[in-house]
Chains A and B, each alone.
Chain A
Amino acid sequence: MTHSRERDDPDQHRTGPGPAPPVQELLRQSGRGDRDAFSRLYDQVSGVLYGLVLRVVRDRGQSEEVVQEVLLEIWRQAPRYDSTRGGAMAWMTTIAHRRAVDRVRSAQAGADREAAAGRREVAGGDYDSVAEAVEDRLERERVRRCLDGLTDLQHQAVTLAFYGGHSYPEVAQLLATPLGTIKTRMRDGLIRLRDCLGVAT
């Protein structure tokens, strides 16, 4: 018998030895139409998704609308979640970030918003201003400490793109830096952040 799951051991989890992470398991069950699982998934992830959307969109009413769309999208797409391509939380975060950015880019008043947001971010990042919103203080401290370990250009490129919702050509313009440099700083900045956070790959 070479298959990883023995026929006579139905309790063993099918995706391999050991229990799956709860969020991933709840997403998988949601993908089979299990509303109870989705309800529990909501409890676990809505804070992260709303926090991220709020960070990008910066307006509570609009952020509520966006995060509602995001959660419906997660329910709709859950059968297509493929754990071989990444973690469940990263998958949901990506959906939320894309929706938030879509909202900002479609609603933007033009260069003014970009420039204003750019100045705010370049001035040192304002993720401090959402400190009251952060429930997981340890996680926030850890991420913040690791972000502080980046070079200024890495830090600005990464936060303008992710928290500011800017595309990399916009970031290049905001920072008056060549496209190729920005692209590279985003990559080496995230790699440094990954290693500092001890993200398992």
Chain B
Amino acid sequence: MKENTHTLSGAYALNALPEEQAREFERHLARCPDCAEETRGLCETTARMAAAVRHEPPSVLKARVMEEIGAVRQASPIVPATMGRSSRPHARLLAGRAAAALLVAAALVLGVLLIRTNGQLNEERVQGDRIAAVLAAPDARQVSTRVGAATVTAIYSPAKASVVVVTAGMPTAPAAHDYQVWLIGPDAIRSAGLMPDRPGPVLAGPVHAGDKLGITVEPQGGSRQPTTQPLTVVALTS
């Protein structure tokens, strides 16, 4: 990447970059948290410039639009670039300290976190710190598995007794349902919470030795015990 790529944030936020350069800058954004954060702020700024020229459209337009959306098929949720690069086609266990793929995944998740936690509430910052601690743990290991077209990646630190779960390409849960994460031990199944709608990392714990990680579809708000067959079950320890 050329050294002056970082300075394209303004032209990008103004939608003034020629197509090819815009796509190139977007690829840069995926791996440069500084530019991603700055660009986000500059795009909020141009949105304010738009708000300053507000002008109500003719009222007949609404009826046309509402009628037409009936014929427009909605897109499926996209696979976030942050995970697409680190996903693997099959369940795979990377044990050991210096697995390159794990470091890449950790860096990408951290990049997302840095953007997300900025300016957000302390509670979420603390959560971000805890997630960062798991990713940085010397004993952290990564397991990725496919669920249909989606990828579920678990990064588990025995020392921290915690696992970070990241999904990519998961379809939205059915209406009035949520995805729920479970820690499945030899004696009991414990809820590890609900997955957020947006593709952010989920921290679950405490993980006991021998626990497996499962994901089910549950009625909105979650269940005390799984009520459906798991979409996937991942062994956290080999």
Which residues of A does B touch, CB under 8 Å?
Answer: 1-7, 10, 14-18, 28, 31-33, 35, 38-39, 42-43, 46-52, 54-55, 64, 67-68, 71-72, 75-80, 82-87, 89-90, 93-94, 96-98, 101, 127, 130, 133-136, 139-140, 142-144, 158, 161-163, 166-169, 171, 180, 182-191, 193-194, 197, 199-201
Chain B interface, number of residues (Cβ within 8 angstroms): 83
CB distance from A105 to the nearest CB of B (A): 10
Q: Is the interface of A mostly helix, strand, loop or mixed?
A: helix
From known contacts A72-B65, A75-B72, A162-B15, infer whether A51 and B115 are also in contact, taking CB-CB under 8 Å.
no
List the B residue with the shortest CB-CB distance to A186: B10
Contact of B47 (CB < 8 Å), options: A18, A89, A189: A89
Q: B1 at the A/B interface (Cβ < 8 Å)? A: no
7 closest residue pairs by CB, A with B = A3-B193, A10-B221, A187-B10, A201-B41, A51-B55, A133-B55, A186-B10
CB distance from B172 to the nearest CB of A (A): 6
Within 8 A of A (CB), among B48-92: 48-58, 61-62, 64-66, 68-69, 72-78, 80
List the B residue with the shortest CB-CB distance to A10: B221
Q: B24 at the A/B interface (Cβ < 8 Å)? A: no
Contact of B119 (CB < 8 Å), options: A18, A90, A200: A200
Q: How far is the CA of A39 from the CA of B80 in the complex (A)?
A: 28
From known contacts A80-B77, A93-B50, infer whether A68 and B124 are also in contact, taking CB-CB under 8 Å.
no
- Chain B residues within 8 Å of A193, by CB: 45, 48-49
A-B contact count (CB 8 A): 273
Whether B204 and A3, one on each chain, are in contact in the complex, defined by CB atoms closer than 8 angstroms, is yes
Q: Is the interface of B mostly helix, strand, loop or mixed?
A: mixed
Q: B123 at the A/B interface (Cβ < 8 Å)? A: yes
Q: B144 at the A/B interface (Cβ < 8 Å)? A: no
Instruction: List 12 additional A-B contacts (Cβ < 8 Å) besides A3-B202, A89-B47.
Output: A2-B203, A16-B120, A16-B123, A33-B74, A68-B61, A84-B200, A93-B43, A161-B16, A186-B10, A187-B11, A189-B10, A190-B45
Q: How far is the CA of A42 from the CA of B56 in the complex (A)?
A: 11
- Chain A residues within 8 Å of B18, by CB: 167, 169
Whether B47 and A15, one on each chain, are in contact in the complex, defined by CB atoms closer than 8 angstroms, is no
Q: Mark B179-206, 1 if CB is under 8 A from A, else 0.
A: 0110000000001111011111011110
List the B residue with the shortest CB-CB distance to A100: B15
CB distance from B188 to the nearest CB of A (A): 15
Contact of B52 (CB < 8 Å), options: A87, A139, A191: A139
Within 8 A of A (CB), among B1-38: 4, 7-11, 13-18, 36-38
- Chain A residues within 8 Å of B237, by CB: none
Q: How far is the CA of A184 from the CA of B46 in the complex (A)?
A: 16
Whether B50 and A186, one on each chain, are in contact in the complex, defined by CB atoms closer than 8 angstroms, is no
Contact of A158 (CB < 8 Å), options: B14, B74, B198: B14
Whether B54 and A47, one on each chain, are in contact in the complex, defined by CB atoms closer than 8 angstroms, is yes
From known contacts A84-B112, A84-B116, infer whether A79 and B44 are also in contact, taking CB-CB under 8 Å.
no
Q: B130 at the A/B interface (Cβ < 8 Å)? A: yes
CB distance from B230 to the nearest CB of A (A): 17
> Could you write out 25 A-B pairs with CB less than 8 Å apart?
A2-B205, A3-B181, A4-B124, A6-B193, A14-B194, A15-B197, A18-B121, A31-B77, A38-B66, A42-B66, A46-B56, A47-B54, A49-B50, A50-B56, A77-B75, A80-B75, A89-B44, A98-B15, A135-B56, A136-B52, A143-B48, A171-B16, A184-B10, A185-B10, A187-B11
